[in-house]
């Protein structure tokens, strides 16, 4: 490792920090048990996993003798994923589940320059159908499939 911190180590430490904040935030809620999960169970488990993955990445970044070959940030995929998350959040609120998946998959397909519109439409339709089956049929949640209006 050079005199400077590697990008991998910085990202790993950010992951550990986010995981620790999640652990602290999850302690506010009841943990429950394995039979009857409380509202703090799932965030706690995910945060512990995130801390573990971050520590593993930090160790590999420190032990690794190879420098980061590419420390250049790829802006296109990063912006496409951020737009997909924001687009999904806004679209599901105003227009429902099915349009939200089409917006999300549409934005994420922009991350790869050679990804076509037909595969994106097929993936969006399939994920919409699976999400409807999971949330509506299996879990009994009432998510609006299509909503018009504000």
In this prediction, the residues of the chain whose per-residue pLDDT falls under 70 are 1-5, 65-72, 149-150
pTM of the model: 0.57
Structure confidence at residue 20 (pLDDT): 95
Hey, what are 99's tokens?
């349009």
Hey, what are 107's tokens?
């934005």
H-state helical runs in the chain: 7-26, 41-63, 75-94, 97-109, 117-132
The 10s digit of each residue's pLDDT in 96-115 is 888 998 999 999 998 888 88
Hey, what are 119's tokens?
């595969």
């Amino acid at each position: 490792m050079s005199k400077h911190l590697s990008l991998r180590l910085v990202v790993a430490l950010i992951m550990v920090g986010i995981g620790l904040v999640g652990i602290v935030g999850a302690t506010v809620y009841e943990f429950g048990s394995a039979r009857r999960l409380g509202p703090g169970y799932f965030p706690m488990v995910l945060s512990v996993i995130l801390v573990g993955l971050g520590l593993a990445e930090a160790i590999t970044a420190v032990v690794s003798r190879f420098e980061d070959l590419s420390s250049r940030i790829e802006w296109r995929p990063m912006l496409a994923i951020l737009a997909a998350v924001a687009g999904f959040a806004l679209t599901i609120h105003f227009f429902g589940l099915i349009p939200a998946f089409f917006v999300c998959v549409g934005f994420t397909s922009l991350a790869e320059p050679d990804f076509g519109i037909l595969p994106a439409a097929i993936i969006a339709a399939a994920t919409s159908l699976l999400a409807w089956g999971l949330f509506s049929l299996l879990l009994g949640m009432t998510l609006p499939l299509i909503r018009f209006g504000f």
